Amino acid sequence: MTLFLVVIVILGYVWGKSYNFGYGGLIIALIFSIGINLISYFKGDKLALSMANAKQIKQADNPYVYRLVENLSITAGVPCPKIYLIPDNAINAFATGRDPKTASIAITTGAVQKLENEELEGVIAHELSHVKNYDIRLMTVVILCVGLITLLADFMLRSRFIFGSRDNDNNNNGNLLLIIGLVLSILSPIFATLIQLAVSRKREYLADASASLLTRYPEGLASALEKIAKENLPLKRANKSMAHLYIASPFSATEKISNLFSTHPPIIERVKKLRAMI
């Protein structure tokens, strides 16, 4: 989060100086970043659920899923989160929220239909582990912070044409800003991916281990992950900005450049570690 703030401050400072706004650009960037962080902290979970087209359910809507989540929540010692279903045939799930009291778990209908009881239990336990470990707070905030960096880079790229310049000095500054904005626009997706990798990979291994302790049956989650890998079915509404939230990548293997730039560790490695616990 400190890194995000530093990048935003630098962008604001360079933009303000280039167009003779003094520290105005810095102040605007700070206000904007604080506003985005507040929105992501208090409303980020709702935005993530909306982007996934998740619909909240009550116990009467799906007693089977509701009981699984409720029982595992009691075992984990956390409040039962709000439960959502994503109308998608792929097998996947994610958790979001600020803390265990405001947490939500979203599960695809494909996971409910295709996974055996122990497998679905392992998937839900994995997501509850993210809730208990407070991964959900950081993961949710990262979504909007990555978006903010991308927006600022895009604004810097376009500001040369919006504000123009009145003299040669300003013109030179404007050209410099255009170059900086262009470079940042190219690098921002890579920057965003690296941040997501730093947040996701080790937390996924930790959530796998925590889920195994919760269910006392590592094979359930291992088998579910194998089904995800074998099926290799992408989500219909897969979104790069929230890919790190899911239990497995929401994109098919052919859509990923390589495991190096995946937001998740290779499933084969996760399965190997899970079965080593048996």
Return the SS3 of 19.
coil
Out of 27-36, 40-49, 131-140, 268-277, pick the least confident. Answer: 27-36
The 82-86 sheet, strands edge to edge: 55-57, 82-86, 104-108, 93-96
Cβ atoms of 20 and 38 closer than 8 Å = no
Q: Which residue, among 266, 200, 275, has the nearest Cα to 229 in the 3D structure?
A: 266
Q: Which residue, among 232, 234, 231, has the nearest Cα to 243 in the 3D structure?
A: 234
CA 127/CA 135 separation, integer angstroms: 10
Which residues have CB under 8 Å from 23's CB, separation 6+? 13, 16
Six token digits for residue 252: 């098919």
Q: How many CA atoms lie within 13 A of 117 on its CB side?
A: 4
Out of 22-31, 38-47, 229-238, 263-272, pick the least confident. Answer: 22-31
Across the chain, mean pLDDT equals 83
Out of 24-33, 39-48, 113-122, 165-174, pick the least confident. Answer: 165-174
Distance of CA 212 to the CA centre of its chain: 23
254 vs 134, higher pLDDT: 134
Mean pLDDT of the region 48-77: 96
Q: Which residue, among 128, 69, 116, has the nearest Cα to 91 in the 3D structure?
A: 116
CA 178/CA 152 separation, integer angstroms: 12
Catalytic residues: 127
Task: Tell me the per-residue pLDDT of 101-126, one tens digit each, with 9 for 90 and over.
Answer: 999 999 999 999 999 999 999 999 99
CA 197/CA 93 separation, integer angstroms: 18
If pLDDT is split at 50, 70 and 90, which confidence band does 265 have? confident
147 is in which domain, residue-wise?
Answer: 2-275
Mean pLDDT of the region 177-197: 67
CA 231/CA 217 separation, integer angstroms: 22
Question: Total domain count for the chain?
Answer: 1
Mean pLDDT of the region 242-249: 87
Q: What is the pLDDT of residue 164?
A: 56
Which residues have CB under 8 Å from 172's CB, separation 6+? none
CA 57/CA 43 separation, integer angstroms: 19
Cβ atoms of 205 and 270 closer than 8 Å = yes
If pLDDT is split at 50, 70 and 90, which confidence band does 243 have? confident
On the 0-12 / 13-18 / 19+ scale of CB atoms within 10 A, 12 is buried
Out of 90-99, 103-112, 118-127, 191-200, pick the least confident. Answer: 191-200
CA 11/CA 113 separation, integer angstroms: 47
Cβ atoms of 144 and 45 closer than 8 Å = no
Task: Tell me the per-residue pLDDT of 174-184, one tens digit each, with 9 for 90 and over.
Answer: 566 667 666 76
